[in-house]
Amino acid sequence: MSVQRNDWSLQRKGIIDQERHKDRVREAIRKNLGSIVSNEAIILSDGKRSVKVPIRSLDEYKFRFDHRKRKHVGQGDGKTRVGDVLGREDGRGQGKGGSGPAGQDAGADYYEAEVNIDELAALIFEDLRLPFLEEKAKQAVPAKTTRFNEIRRTGVMANLDKRRLIFENIKRNARTSSGAKFGNVKKEDLRFKSWEEDNRYESNAVVLALMDVSGSMGEFKKYIARSFFFWMVRFLRTKYDNVEIVFISHHTEAKEVTEEQFFTQGESGGTVVSSAYQLALEIIRARYNPRDWNVYPFHFSDGDNYYSDNEEAVRLADELIGTCNLFGYGEIGEEGTSGYRRSSGALLSIFKDRLHRKERFVGVRIDEREDVYPALKQFFGQRGVEA
């Protein structure tokens, strides 16, 4: 019988096995990237660092009872009667009201993993390359920046670091006599911020997000476009210092819109694709000189262009390709109708047939959420390496 205290500082088993678990999560994520890439929790994460994503095959599977088909015993506050409702099965808002084994939803064979978006991005970008990057990066403009990164005892009063001054003052007071409090500021307490001049090379990229907002583009199609652009911008940010994104929506006419309008507003009417390309070219000419900017236009549509416009669309697309690094075109089908409903008159096949500079064109077809990841891979595929 004794009470002791030992040195446990070398005990790291829990941490080591925690790492094993993390490995497993990572592996499972890698296997499920297709469905994770287009998960709402991430696309709509709004700047959160990490999100919860359901991942298949990561639970500890055991023979267990289906708790939804089972009777449980509970305890009340003394006034429970037969017929009282404790909670609703899916009532997230009001909680389960203590309906027993929470978080054991039968039927759901997935595990909710907390995923750090940066880590996830690293996994996704692992096999992505940036096509046709070199030439632009070399021509990047030198930019002069000033960075405050040093502290000195002398300097201009305007650069006084007040926080540090208070710190130093308290420390000195504590050292000398009067105890650790602020007061009696002397010259030796003063601290000044100082700076360095920095010449950095900046590389710029602009994504021209073009989207068809004609009547036929529904919620699902917009969501696909959104998740694609989410990763595209994120990926470009890892390669370029400065990534801008321009949103252009079009039906029979094109206009530049805000991000919110781009993803939420629906319009009706037909589709004239060339109008969007025309506007894109104008914007590039006016604001994003291809000598300084890497330009990535990407266009989402359902491919139902006016027949008479196809000629013009192809011509402008060729011109667009001439000015930019890579031109992408994504044709989105109806949700869950993969394969058989590919309309033959669709733009994708026309582009594939008739564009002159196909090496800088990527056309993808997206029918389901899971297709977003392959599309990303195709767009940022290996091709840029040998170019």
Partner 1 sequence: MADDREIKDLERALEQIWEIAARLGLDPFPTRFEIVPATVMYEIGSYALPGRYSHWTFGKAYHRMKTMYDFGLSKIYEVVINTNPSYGFLLETNSPIQNKLVMAHVLGHVDFFKHNAYFSKTNRRMVESVSSHAGRMSEYEFKYGRKTVEEFLDAVLSIEEHIDPNFFIKQERPPQTEEQRAAGLPKEGRYDDLWKIGEPVASPTPPARELPRGERLPEKDLLYYIMRNSPALTDWQRDAMGMIREEMEYFVPQMQTKTLNEGWASYWHSRIMRELELTDTESIEFAELHAGVVSPHKGQLNPYYLGYKILEDIERRWDNPTAAEREQFGRKGGEGREKIFEVRELDNDVSFLRNYLTEELCEELDLFVYELVEEEEWTVTEKRWERVRDQLVSNLTNFGFPYIVVADGDYNRNRELYLKHQSEGAELDANYARKVLEYVFRLWGRPVHLETTADGEQVVMRYNGEEHEED
Which one, 1 or 286, has the nearer CB to partner 1?
1
Q: Rounded to the nearest whole angstrom, what is the least distance from the CB of residue 16 to partner 1 in the complex?
A: 7
Which one, 74 or 266, has the nearer CB to partner 1?
74
Tokens representing residue 207 in the block? 């994504």
Choose which of 30, 48, 70, 171 interacts with partner 1 (CB under 8 A).
70
Q: Within 92-151, which residues bind partner 1 (CB under 8 A)?
A: 96-100, 106-109
Under rule CB under 8 A, residue 10 binds partner 1: no
* Cα dihedral across residues 177, 180, 181, 186: positive or negative: positive
How many CB atoms lie under 10 A from the CB of residue 73?
A: 5
Q: Rounded to the nearest whole angstrom, what is the least distance from the CB of residue 30 to partner 1 in the complex?
A: 15
* Spatial CA neighbour of 198 closest among 149, 140, 150, 144: 144
C-alpha 162/C-alpha 190 separation (Å) is 8
Under rule CB under 8 A, residue 266 binds partner 1: no
Under rule CB under 8 A, residue 179 binds partner 1: no
Under rule CB under 8 A, residue 334 binds partner 1: no
Exposure string of 112-133, with b = 16+ CB inside 10 Å and e = fewer, is ebebebeebbebbbeebbbbbb
116: β partners = 50
C-alpha 379/C-alpha 324 separation (Å) is 14
Under rule CB under 8 A, residue 73 binds partner 1: yes
Under rule CB under 8 A, residue 64 binds partner 1: yes
Q: Within 21-40, which residues bind partner 1 (CB under 8 A)?
A: 21-24
Q: Rounded to the nearest whole angstrom, what is the least distance from the CB of residue 54 to partner 1 in the complex?
A: 14
* Spatial CA neighbour of 350 closest among 360, 337, 340, 363: 363
Choose which of 46, 49, 75, 157 interacts with partner 1 (CB under 8 A).
75
Under rule CB under 8 A, residue 54 binds partner 1: no
* Cα→Cα distances 179→64, 163, 174, 183, 221, Å: 64, 19, 4, 10, 66
Which one, 27 or 118, has the nearer CB to partner 1?
27
Under rule CB under 8 A, residue 49 binds partner 1: no
C-alpha 330/C-alpha 370 separation (Å) is 14
Give me the residues that bind partner 1 (CB under 8 A), please: 1-6, 8, 11, 13-24, 57, 59-89, 96-100, 106-109
